[in-house]
Structure 1
Amino acid sequence: MQSRPQKAPLHLVVSCLLLIQVFLTGILFATASKDVKKLPVRYQQWFNRDAAYLITDEEKGAFLHLSTDEERDKFIDHFWEIRNPNPGSPTNTYRDEIYERIQYANQNFGHEGWRTDRGRIYILFGKPQQKALYVGQANVRPMEIWFYSSPHKALPPFFYIVFYQRDTGDEFRLYSPYMDGPDKLVTGTGAENDRLTALKVIDRSLGREVARTTLSLLPDEPVDLDAATSSLTSDVMLGTIRNLANNPFNKEMLDQHRRLLEAVSHRIVISGEFLEVLTAPLVDSHGDTNLHYVLRLKRPEDFTLQQAQDEQYYFSVEVVARVLAPDNKPIFEQERKVSQFLISQQVEQVKNKLFGYEGTLPLPPGKYTVEFVLSNELNKTAFREQKEIVIPDPPAKGLQLTAVVPFAEAETGITSPTVRPFTAAGVKFTPSSGEGVALGQGRDLKFFYQIWAPPADPRSYGSAKLIAEYAVGRMGMHDTKTLQDELQRSEFDANGTLINGKKIPISDLKPGNYRMVVTVSDPATRERAFSSLNFRVVSSEPANRIWDVIDPSASDDARLGVGESQRALCYLSQGKDSEAIGWLTRSYRKDPSNEVVRSKLVELLFAKQQFQQIAVLYGNAGVTEHTDEQTILRIAESFHKLGQVGKSIQLLEGIVPGRQSGPLYLTLSSYYQQVGETQKAADTERKGKMIASLPPKS
């Protein structure tokens, strides 16, 4: 009988695989190095220094396969342009900033300061928001602590970076809370190999906050000062920083920039000369604020239809709305593509009409900058406009009016479970042009606005009324005419809002520029609120009518919780973590397969030590191949904090063979140690350190 081959122990198989990985990694690096050395010196310098921390593996391969200097120059130009915060502009502030950072690193961190750990961090993130230097302290090695606020999706919103100098004259090196620990920061035999004693030395010499930072680089991560233990969350972050260029979030951002660059690289109209943007904040049926917007071309000839082989006509447009915080940091980006065939009758109907696109953005109260880009994919033309947006807080008392929106048409009886552009209380309004709308003599001025009041049961108002007054006139002409309406308070919804549409005849107005002031007052409390609209009366009817298409993805977004997650990102940008958790939870309930949402939700819950909720999230969806390392570590540590270290071990044992991650192995080792599995702990720690010593894959 033929004997069955014996299987090698798992730890021997893993060790062999790691040795093979080290060997292959060395070969790949040696091959790439030879290819770089074949380049002219100036391209070697760009590849090895200027772009060293920014270039992705795919970009490295593409650059090394180029055969001419002309191709390399074009590649470098494109490399910087897709990272330009304002694609198509004559200046590239990102590229200029990177070269300034490289110069600063060389001037302040040594002859080739860009190569140092401090140089890497400075080039990637720029000047730290806060910086502290600790030198000349008894029993504590020289240290620098930098603090950053990062908008990068792959990194925590706030984090510290710690550097330390092992010996006099050495470079300051990057400090790892887990791999180094507080004992690497102190001198003297009594503390050098004792984390707890070392932490106490740092606490006495530099203070509690510095001592805490040596255990965790994340300000909101819970730490155990009594045991001087560190989780691997900080080390995972440092690993992400070391290979930030190849992080999936970074590559996704670059892909978005490539698409945007493609849209704007053909012909850009930066001013509002050819594109009009009208926006209005409205409260929806759930009591949440949304920004409704329409992008409309000012000339019919700027929109193109194309004829297909079957003689049908079609159009294809792309709309991008980039939402930025007041400090110009990106919050989220909404991208839409709309393509549609038109029958011959429809083509006749849209001829000589002004094309418009209507959409909404789920913005909670706050200040924003929104950059809109409307691209016609057929004639490769893109129009861009930027707006400063303020979404006001609904009033705690009194009244408030939104902007007055002129409209061309109104359709009643609309029922929709999702937020539709310029739709409220069952009425869909098609907005006219915004400020300065032109009306022919004899036409009516049609407009709507929304009144905001504190939420209340409409029945509680009884027969109470509001007075709406409309004053129309020309500035300085003393020809103001006033109309009044009565509004029933009982018509408000439970969220405290009322949409009021109005039609005012202007047949007796002479041509000229007019201003309408809307005043809504409460006779009982004498509270008043105001809004206004500028418009023009012209002698002849404006020739061009409008033709709008509506966001086609609203129902899909509602089903997948996209709006909820985007609203959460807005709250995060405002530092309102509790509100963000609520909205991320709603988003995740709609789409439990969304790992990005779950990752951010786990991060916020972990910071608030809500470990039981994290355990519930894990129970609902487990861990998939798309679950990132930081989320896995937080889930495992949550079980540990709940006194269920066995579940922590079970979770990691099922993951580490396929992940080959140093932090995951090291964390598993620490759990083995806690349950008395010393041999497993030693083997797993050795594997983890071997993996952690490998350079990033390329």
Structure 2
Amino acid sequence: MKRKFICFALVLFSISVLPAFSSKEKTSAKDLPERYKKWLEQEVVYIITPKEREVFLQLEGTRERDLFIEAFWKHRDPDSITFENEFKEEHYRRISYANKWLGRGTPTAGWKTQMGRIHIILGAPKFIERYENETEVYPTVVWFYQGMSKYGLPDAFNVVFFKEYGSGDYELYSPLKDGPQKLLIHYFGDPRDYLSAFNQLKNIRPQLAQTSLTLLPGESWHTMTPSMASEILMSNIDMKPQKAVKDDYAEKLLKYKDIIEVEYSANYIDNNNLVSVLQDKSGISFVHYLIEPYKLSINLVEDKYYTTLEISGKISDLKGKIIYQFNKSIPIQFGEEELNKIKTKPFSLQDIFPLVEGNYKFNLLLKNRVSKEFTSFERDLIIPSFQSSAEMTRLILAPHIKNVSSTTSHKPFKVGDVQIYPSPGNEFSVRDKLFIFFQIPGISEEVRENGRLQFIFYKGDQEFRREEREIKSYPQKGQFLEEFSLEHFPPDFYRVEVNVFSNENKIILIEQAYFSISLSELIPRPFIYSELAPSSGDSLTDYILGGQYFNQGIYEKAEYFLEKAHRKKPDSLKFAEGYGRILITKEKFEEAKKILLPFLENPQKDYQFLKLLGQTSQKLSQYEEAIDYFKKYLGHYGTNLEVLNAIGYCYASSGNKEKALEAWEKSLEINPNQEKIKKLVASLKGEK
């Protein structure tokens, strides 16, 4: 069987902005173990970004630091397919050269000299001009560079070094701070008179005189004043390593280092993403989201291309308590013909789930099991209540929509009979349509009948276009979909603002979104993989909502939805367990036992309900039954301290002290740090 690993770099349109991460207590660089201190303070001191440095100092132990260093180099590797990391090899080659040649004749190590720093950051120059052993000019060296515009540097520029007053290390020369007068041995004029110094140097070394005022070949220097562009160049040189890497991976590694497996830790990739909260006709809110990883790596086995993606989602309240979480494994498989059609397109994974009202943090982690890469995003979510006042959702911008028939399942970004295909980067071509969708679920009848919408497009800070619509012209209450042609929008950056006017002609709601029109006539749109979700009336939706209320301690609503789920599908063990838990919580033990007992009659894949039956029987003082259920539970799942202790309580309550001691002592063997159980054991032994 032939197996081949293939990595497709996908088309990118925008970079998602990640929220700031909370800093842990940092280790001082001087307190690091010697090899990590050397790595941070010497080997990568000129190329590590401030964010990377901050994260590295928050890591603990050899494992975490080694994983970070691996990720550091991996995110600078220009060709991940090859075994070699060309960037890393070149970097250490530059350090070696600097130490061997650029510190000679001085007590300073080569990497610490100004020449060493520039060589490590920029590499070897195209050519070098030397002015050494001169009688009129202090030792001066000019390095010429070319072809670095992709790093935000000029296409051609010089870097000048000189020995101030003819001794010491070569220092970096600044046309503004030093000027040609600092290069001349016999200049006795005004230190601020650049013109006199320039003319004197011009008579000695004309080419060097020009370079002394501007580091940019071809820049006008006839004003005889130092070039400000040269000063900007010098500051940008230090920024070059930061522009060459996206360092978001560092904070992701810090955030997920205790969650993801070791083999994933160094392999963070960026993504585009979009999250929208939309209500369906029943008033239930669904979270629609998409994530587009910057690359999708797949395996080739014989004639099939495949990978498996794993999604882990977590919804937490503002105190960090988990309200809902989900895990999915998604196999992706392509034939060669299908792969050839999509390999130049982004890959968009889209999903949807219901969520009850509240303020939350949404964390999503996506792992590729083939390449051991991961990506993630975090978002704040606000879910309005069913009866909330009029609120406007965020604008969804899309280049394409499609009218589809309604189904019993929910599909991401499908609203009613319209499937929306949003662009997370909000990039459009002049040939695209611009569709704008939003909801106002609680809109009043007065506003619906007499209100209006105003769409204002801004190009930069200037208003570019304005259109208005009557709200009553939209057929579905609270849902708004508008289409605009972009034919007359020149390529640029835009902002669209949607104002909602009341029947009294006052603005009551405002939302805005940014988008861009590309120079490209066609923008590749993604290959979409969608996960379906049950509709609002489905028993699974009721179960999910009930569980979310239960986890927040809102037991009345939890019971309402969990009872609905069980009633719609009474043969579902999962739904019976959910309903049973809320009944036990509300001390309705007889009801809980009644709905769980039927599942004893048939073999099950899940025997968690035995624990629930044990708890209900214990609360009903049916101790023998409770012990029987608890022991059967242990037979399926092995040792469980909570269940062992419950068995002890049941024996003690039924007067069997020896069996109670046996259960509790076994529990203490597993975990001796149970003070309450220790006291119970001591009490029973004292009674003997």
TM-score, L = length of structure 1: 0.51
Indicate which of 280, 296, 319 corresponds to 1:303: 296
Paired residues of 1:463 and 1:490 also in contact (CA < 8 A)? no
* Alpha-carbon separation, structure 1, partners of 2:582 and 2:624: 24
Tell me which residue corresponds to 1:30.
none
Indicate which of 285, 288, 292 corresponds to 2:288: 292
* Alpha-carbon separation, structure 2, partners of 1:286 and 1:94: 50
1:405 paired with 2:378, answer: no
Tell me which residue corresponds to 1:608.
586
**Match runs of 1:405-554 below 5 Å:** 405-434=396-425, 437-453=426-442, 464=449, 466-477=451-462, 479-488=463-472, 491-492=475-476, 498-523=478-503, 528-541=508-521, 543-551=523-531, 554=533
* Alpha-carbon separation, structure 1, partners of 2:320 and 2:515: 32
Paired residues of 2:610 and 2:632 also in contact (CA < 8 A)? no
Q: Write the letter of the residue equivalent to 1:690.
A: E
* Alpha-carbon separation, structure 1, partners of 2:377 and 2:468: 37
Kindly provide the CA deviation profile for residues 329-358 of structure 1, in whole angstroms up to 9, marking residues without a partner as x.
333332222223323432232131111100
Q: Structure 2 vs 1, CA of residues 306 and 600 (structure 1 numbering), >3 Å: closer, same or farther?
A: closer
Q: CA deviation at 1:666?
A: 4.2
* Alpha-carbon separation, structure 1, partners of 2:631 and 2:552: 40
Q: CA deviation at 1:535?
A: 0.8
Paired residues of 1:323 and 1:333 also in contact (CA < 8 A)? yes
Paired residues of 1:471 and 1:483 also in contact (CA < 8 A)? yes
Q: Write the letter of the residue equivalent to 1:488.
A: K
1:378 paired with 2:387, answer: no
1:337 paired with 2:322, answer: no
Kindly provide the CA deviation profile for residues 302-346 of structure 1, in whole angstroms up to 9, marking residues without a partner as x.
22343331x233343222222222123333332222223323432
Tell me which residue corresponds to 1:584.
562
Q: Write the letter of the residue equivalent to 2:453.
A: A
Q: Write the letter of the residue equivalent to 1:362.
A: P
Tell me which residue corresponds to 2:617.
636
Q: Write the letter of the residue equivalent to 2:300.
A: Q
Tell me which residue corresponds to 2:661.
689
Identify which range, 276-285 or 379-388, moves more after superposition. Answer: 379-388
* Alpha-carbon separation, structure 2, partners of 1:484 and 1:490: 13
Kindly provide the CA deviation profile for residues 399-432 of structure 1, in whole angstroms up to 9, marking residues without a partner as x.
3221111123322233222221111112211211
Kindly provide the CA deviation profile for residues 508-559 of structure 1, in whole angstroms up to 9, marking residues without a partner as x.
223322111112344279673222211112333354321111116x369997
Q: CA deviation at 1:484?
A: 1.8
Kindly provide the CA deviation profile for residues 582-603 of structure 1, in whole angstroms up to 9, marking residues without a partner as x.
3333444566677676556444
Q: Write the letter of the residue equivalent to 2:428.
A: L
**Match runs of 1:100-115 below 5 Å:** none
1:667 paired with 2:656, answer: no
Q: Write the letter of the residue equivalent to 2:284.
A: D
* Alpha-carbon separation, structure 1, partners of 2:661 and 2:572: 32
* Alpha-carbon separation, structure 2, partners of 1:306 and 1:656: 46
* 2:405 match: secondary structure: coil
Q: Write the letter of the residue equivalent to 2:650.
A: T
Q: Write the letter of the residue equivalent to 1:663.
A: A
Percent identity reads 14
Q: Structure 2 vs 1, CA of residues 384 and 538 (structure 1 numbering), >3 Å: closer, same or farther?
A: same
Paired residues of 2:347 and 2:527 also in contact (CA < 8 A)? yes
Q: Write the letter of the residue equivalent to 1:505.
A: S
Identify which range, 576-585 or 529-538, moves more after superposition. Answer: 576-585
Q: CA deviation at 1:507?
A: 2.3
Paired residues of 2:400 and 2:420 also in contact (CA < 8 A)? yes
Tell me which residue corresponds to 1:181.
none
Tell me which residue corresponds to 2:241.
none
* Alpha-carbon separation, structure 2, partners of 1:263 and 1:406: 37
* Alpha-carbon separation, structure 2, partners of 1:616 and 1:93: 52
Paired residues of 2:597 and 2:613 also in contact (CA < 8 A)? no
What are structure 1's unaligned runs of at least 5 residues? Answer: 1-88, 97-255, 671-680
Kindly provide the CA deviation profile for residues 1-49 of structure 1, in whole angstroms up to 9, marking residues without a partner as x.
xxxxxxxxxxxxxxxxxxxxxxxxxxxxxxxxxxxxxxxxxxxxxxxxx
**Match runs of 1:73-84 below 5 Å:** none
Q: Structure 2 vs 1, CA of residues 524 and 388 (structure 1 numbering), >3 Å: closer, same or farther?
A: same
* 1:357 match: secondary structure: strand
Q: CA deviation at 1:367?
A: 1.8
1:314 paired with 2:306, answer: yes
* 1:452 match: secondary structure: coil
Cα RMSD (Å) of the superposition?
4.0
* Alpha-carbon separation, structure 2, partners of 1:351 and 1:377: 19
Paired residues of 2:409 and 2:535 also in contact (CA < 8 A)? no
Paired residues of 2:267 and 2:372 also in contact (CA < 8 A)? yes
Identify which range, 421-430 or 614-623, moves more after superposition. Answer: 614-623
Tell me which residue corresponds to 1:230.
none
Paired residues of 2:547 and 2:578 also in contact (CA < 8 A)? no
* Alpha-carbon separation, structure 1, partners of 2:632 and 2:472: 66
Q: Write the letter of the residue equivalent to 2:562.
A: L
Paired residues of 1:353 and 1:547 also in contact (CA < 8 A)? yes
Paired residues of 2:397 and 2:422 also in contact (CA < 8 A)? yes
Q: CA deviation at 1:438?
A: 1.9
Indicate which of 276, 281, 284 corresponds to 1:280: 276
* Alpha-carbon separation, structure 2, partners of 1:619 and 1:504: 60
1:651 paired with 2:644, answer: no
Tell me which residue corresponds to 1:265.
265
Q: CA deviation at 1:95?
A: 10
Paired residues of 2:580 and 2:592 also in contact (CA < 8 A)? yes
Q: Structure 2 vs 1, CA of residues 464 and 543 (structure 1 numbering), >3 Å: closer, same or farther?
A: closer
Report how many aligned residue pairs link the two structures. Answer: 411
Q: Write the letter of the residue equivalent to 2:469.
A: D
Tell me which residue corresponds to 2:379.
387
Q: CA deviation at 1:635?
A: 1.5
**Match runs of 1:178-327 below 5 Å:** 260-261=260-261, 264-269=264-269, 274-298=270-294, 302-309=295-302, 311-327=303-319
Q: Structure 2 vs 1, CA of residues 627 and 570 (structure 1 numbering), >3 Å: closer, same or farther?
A: closer
Paired residues of 2:596 and 2:613 also in contact (CA < 8 A)? no
Q: CA deviation at 1:366?
A: 1.7
Tell me which residue corresponds to 1:228.
none
* Alpha-carbon separation, structure 2, partners of 1:501 and 1:279: 18
* Alpha-carbon separation, structure 2, partners of 1:575 and 1:513: 46
Structure showing greater Rg: 2
Paired residues of 1:462 and 1:490 also in contact (CA < 8 A)? no
* Alpha-carbon separation, structure 2, partners of 1:627 and 1:315: 33
Tell me which residue corresponds to 1:231.
none
Paired residues of 1:319 and 1:374 also in contact (CA < 8 A)? yes
Q: Write the letter of the residue equivalent to 1:626.
A: Y
